C-alpha cells in the first residue's frame, strides 16, 4: 500500500488503540480482524511506515457501536488529525461527523500544543456544518462559520474490510474546507465568518478577591467586601510542576502547571457580608509578586475549549468537596500520605484550623515535596485559573471555594 509520494505503508491489526498512551491492544491476524469486522466488534487498523515506532495512521472501527475514529501522526509522532465518523443511515453510509487538523509551524512544537494552529470541522445530519479556524490555536481568537453542506460532503460509503485507503499528506482537510479557510475573514470570503475570542481566557480579575475593599455580590446576591487575605503557609514544589486535583481521587493529578521550583505562598481570600459573617471565597498559590494581567483556564492536553458552552469550564472533579495543591512529581506518594494522615488522625498533618479552608498538610520525606488540601463548597467540577504577568510568567493559581461572585463597582 502506498502513502504520499511512493512511501510504502504496512498494514497491521489490533484489538484496540489507546490514543492517550498511543499503544495498541493484542495484535490480530487479518483473518481475526475480518471476523471482528463482520460481527461488528471493535478492532484497529494501523498503517505504519517500516521502521517507525508509531503508526502514521490509525482507524478504530466499531460497526456494532456505529462509529469509526481516525488518528494521523507526523514523523515526530505528533497528532495531525483526529476524526470521527458515525454510522447513521441504514448501516451503509458514514457521516463525516468531526475532524480536527493541526498544522505545526516547526519540528519542535509539542504535540497539539495550545498555540498550535488548528482547524475544527463539525458536520450534522441536517446538512449544516461549522468550521472553527484557530490560527493561533486555543490561546488565540478563532474565525467561525456556519454553513450549508451538500449531501455528498456529509456522507461517505461504508468501506468493505481491507479497503481503507491511506489519508493524503498535509493538513488532511477536504479541498472544500481548505477553500473556505483560505479566504476566512477576507472580503472575498465565500461564507460569513465571525471572530470568537479564546474560550481559554477569563475576563475576571481573580486577584480582586484577595484585594481588601473589593465589593462583590455572592452566589445568593448577598453583598460582601473582601478583607485582608489570610496567609496560611507555604507549599514546596521542588519539581517545578504544580498539581491541582482532589486528593481523595484514585487517579491524578488532573492538572500539571509549570511553576518555578521552590517554596510558594498559600493565600486564602476572605470576605465579610453586611451582617458581619466572614467566609472564604478562594484559595491561591502565589508564585510571584508581579500582578496578573491575564487569567487562563488550566487545561489537560485532551481538553478542547471549543466544546465548552456559555459559562462552562474544565476543572478537576471531586466527590468529597476537596481539592489540593501539590508537587506533581510526587503526587502518588503525597496522596497516599494524605490518606494515611486522615485515617490515623495525624495531628502534625492537621496543622491548619481556625476556620481556614486549608486543612491538611503532608510532606514526602525524600524530596521535600508537599501537598496541601483545601475544602470547597460542593462536589462536582472546579476549575483552576492560572494568572500570568505581562511577561507571560505564571504568578498565581486560583481555585474558587464557591461560585465566582460578581465584582461590584467601587
- Which grid coordinates are listed for 386? 492560572
DSSP one-letter string for 25-83 = -SEE-HHHHHHHHHHT--EEEEEE-TT-SS-SEEEEEETTTTEEEEEEE-TTS-EEEEE
In 166-237, DSSP assigns E strands to 194-196, 201-202, 215-217, 223-237
User: Same domain for 157 and 16?
Assistant: yes
User: Same domain for 108 and 13?
Assistant: yes
Partners of residue 99 on adjacent β-strands: 83, 121
Residue of 286, 298, 196, 195 lying closest to 237 (CA atoms) = 286
**pLDDT for the residue 169:** 62
Q: Where are the alpha helices (DSSP H) in 325-367?
A: 331-344
**Cα(70)–Cα(364) distance, integer angstroms:** 42
Instruction: Domain count for the chain, please give it.
Output: 2
Q: Answer yes or no: pTM beyond 0.95.
A: no
User: Same domain for 21 and 131?
Assistant: yes
User: Same domain for 121 and 227?
Assistant: no
User: Same domain for 112 and 188?
Assistant: yes
- 130: exposed, middle or buried (C-beta count within 10 Å: 0-12, 13-18, 19+)? middle
Per the CB < 8 A criterion, the answer to whether 44 and 4 are in contact is no
User: Same domain for 118 and 189?
Assistant: yes
CB contact set of 399 (below 8 Å; sequence gap of 6+): 244, 282, 283, 284, 323, 374, 376, 382, 383, 384, 385
User: Same domain for 212 and 170?
Assistant: no
Among the candidates 176, 196, 216, a domain finishes at: 196
Cα separations (Å) of 270 from 165, 217, 229, 357, 406? 61, 13, 6, 10, 15
**pLDDT for the residue 255:** 86
CA atoms within 13 A on the CB side of 329: 14
Among the candidates 159, 181, 196, a domain finishes at: 196
Peptide bond into 253 cis (omega under 30): yes
pLDDT in tens, the chain (410 residues): 334 444 667 899 999 999 988 899 999 999 999 999 999 999 999 998 888 888 999 999 999 999 999 999 998 889 999 999 998 767 789 999 999 999 999 999 988 888 899 999 999 999 999 999 999 998 888 999 999 999 999 998 899 998 887 776 666 888 899 999 988 888 888 899 999 888 888 888 999 999 999 998 876 667 889 999 999 889 999 999 999 999 988 777 888 999 999 999 999 999 998 888 888 999 999 998 899 999 999 998 888 887 777 778 899 999 989 999 999 999 999 998 888 887 777 766 676 666 789 888 889 988 999 999 999 989 999 999 999 999 999 999 999 998 888 888 76
- Which grid coordinates are listed for 278? 466572614
If DSSP codes are grouped into helix, strand and coil, which group holds residue 337? Answer: helix
* Residue listed under C-alpha cell 460532503: 153
DSSP one-letter string for 89-130 = ETTTEEEEEEEEEE--SSTTSPTT-TTS-EEEEEE-TTSEEE
The dihedral built from the CA positions of residue 163, 166, 168 and 172, taken in this order, carries a sign that is positive
**pLDDT for the residue 2:** 36
Give one word for 359, left, alpha or beta, with left for phi > 0 and alpha for psi -120 to 50. Answer: alpha
Domain that holds residue 77: 2-196
User: Same domain for 231 and 186?
Assistant: no
User: Same domain for 191 and 233?
Assistant: no
Among the candidates 172, 196, 220, a domain finishes at: 196
User: Same domain for 139 and 285?
Assistant: no
**pLDDT for the residue 122:** 93
- 41: exposed, middle or buried (C-beta count within 10 Å: 0-12, 13-18, 19+)? middle
User: Same domain for 109 and 206?
Assistant: no
User: Same domain for 161 and 208?
Assistant: no
Amino acid at each position: 500500500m502506498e502513502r504520499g509520494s511512493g512511501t510504502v505503508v504496512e498494514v497491521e491489526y489490533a484489538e484496540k488503540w489507546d490514543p492517550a498512551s498511543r499503544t495498541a491492544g493484542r495484535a490480530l491476524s487479518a483473518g481475526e480482524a475480518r471476523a471482528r469486522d463482520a460481527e461488528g466488534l471493535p478492532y484497529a487498523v494501523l498503517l505504519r511506515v517500516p521502521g517507525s515506532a508509531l503508526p502514521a495512521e490509525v482507524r478504530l472501527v466499531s460497526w456494532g457501536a456505529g462509529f469509526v475514529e481516525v488518528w494521523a501522526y507526523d514523523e515526530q509522532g505528533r497528532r495531525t488529525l483526529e476524526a470521527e465518523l458515525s454510522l447513521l443511515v441504514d448501516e451503509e453510509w458514514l457521516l463525516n461527523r468531526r475532524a480536527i487538523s493541526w498544522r505545526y509551524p516547526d519540528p519542535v512544537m509539542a504535540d497539539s500544543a495550545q498555540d498550535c494552529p488548528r482547524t475544527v470541522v463539525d458536520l450534522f445530519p441536517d446538512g449544516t456544518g461549522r468550521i472553527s479556524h484557530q490560527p493561533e490555536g486555543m490561546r488565540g481568537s478563532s474565525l467561525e462559520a456556519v454553513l450549508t453542506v451538500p449531501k455528498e460532503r456529509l456522507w461517505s460509503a461504508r468501506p468493505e474490510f481491507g479497503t481503507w485507503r491511506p489519508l493524503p499528506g498535509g493538513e488532511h482537510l477536504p479541498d472544500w474546507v481548505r477553500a473556505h479557510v483560505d479566504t476566512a475573514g477576507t472580503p472575498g470570503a465565500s461564507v460569513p465568518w465571525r471572530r470568537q475570542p479564546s474560550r481559554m481566557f477569563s475576563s475576571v480579575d481573580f486577584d480582586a478577591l484577595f484585594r481588601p475593599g473589593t465589593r462583590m455580590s455572592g452566589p445568593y446576591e448577598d453583598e460582601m467586601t473582601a478583607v485582608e487575605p489570610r496567609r496560611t503557609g507555604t507549599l514546596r514544589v521542588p519539581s517545578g510542576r504544580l498539581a491541582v486535583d482532589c486528593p481523595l481521587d484514585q487517579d491524578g493529578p488532573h492538572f500539571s502547571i509549570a511553576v518555578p521550583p521552590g517554596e510558594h505562598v498559600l493565600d486564602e481570600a476572605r470576605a465579610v457580608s453586611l451582617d458581619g459573617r466572614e467566609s472564604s471565597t478562594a484559595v491561591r498559590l502565589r508564585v510571584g509578586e508581579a500582578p496578573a494581567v491575564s487569567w487562563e483556564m488550566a487545561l489537560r492536553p485532551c481538553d478542547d475549549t471549543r466544546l465548552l458552552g456559555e459559562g462552562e469550564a474544565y476543572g478537576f472533579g471531586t466527590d468529597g468537596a476537596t481539592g489540593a495543591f501539590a508537587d506533581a512529581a510526587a503526587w502518588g506518594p503525597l496522596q497516599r500520605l494524605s490518606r494515611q494522615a486522615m485515617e490515623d488522625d495525624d495531628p502534625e498533618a492537621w496543622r491548619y484550623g481556625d476556620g481556614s479552608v486549608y486543612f491538611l498538610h503532608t510532606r514526602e520525606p525524600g524530596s521535600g515535596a508537599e501537598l496541601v488540601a483545601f475544602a470547597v463548597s460542593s462536589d462536582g467540577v472546579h476549575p483552576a485559573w492560572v494568572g500570568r504577568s505581562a511577561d507571560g510568567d505564571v504568578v498565581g493559581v486560583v481555585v474558587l471555594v464557591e461560585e465566582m461572585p460578581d465584582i461590584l463597582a467601587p
